[in-house]
Amino acid sequence: MVKTVAPPPGIEGPGFFATTFDKVIGLARKNSLWPLPFATSCCGIEFMATMASNYDMARFGSERIGFSPRQSDMLMVMGTIAKKMGPVLRHVYEQMAEPKWVIAVGACASSGGIFDTYSVLQGIDRIIPVDVYVPGCPPRPEQIIDGVMRLQDLVGKESLRRRQSEEYKQLLAKYEIK
């Protein structure tokens, strides 16, 4: 199924269409989010179903999975993250080039889920900033797609200056990320 993409808001007249640079870049970015799957357990299986033909992530321009952080801009964390694994996840995040976004898929990535134990990280937002949380244990593919669409909304509306803003620098400083 081909998904048509509406043009960004702008001014239209006979033979011309004008809009802002922010909106054009936002439109391109939101429809070409390349996922980096960081899957450690059961939620990863739901992600595999999401990427299969029934759900067809190509509709969103996100069918190209990158296992290289440098060629991906949407980190999808799926599964239980043990505290020992935290530094690895953080390292992957740091290797991604700006602009980058993060989705915590499922209860474990969002909050530790049912594993309220000494060895499990109680949510990946303790070590990296998260843009969208997808609830569920596990979430169905429809929920994962909903999370991607919510991220698309954020990406499409993001100002080009956000990554240079004081607010963003403070967010990274909070996580001690340089």
Residues forming contacts to ligand SF4 in the complex (CB under 6 A) are 41-43, 79-80, 106-108, 113, 137-138
Nearest residue (CB) to ligand SF4, 94 versus 125: 125
* Strand pairing report for 132-134 and 101-105: parallel
Nearest residue (CB) to ligand SF4, 88 versus 137: 137
In angstroms, the Cα distances linking 24 to 7, 76, 89, 157 are: 8, 25, 31, 10
In angstroms, give the least distance from the CB of 59 to ligand SF4.
24
Nearest residue (CB) to ligand SF4, 88 versus 97: 88
Nearest residue (CB) to ligand SF4, 42 versus 58: 42
In angstroms, the Cα distances linking 74 to 24, 96, 166 are: 19, 9, 22
In angstroms, give the least distance from the CB of 58 to ligand SF4.
24
In angstroms, give the least distance from the CB of 133 to ligand SF4.
12
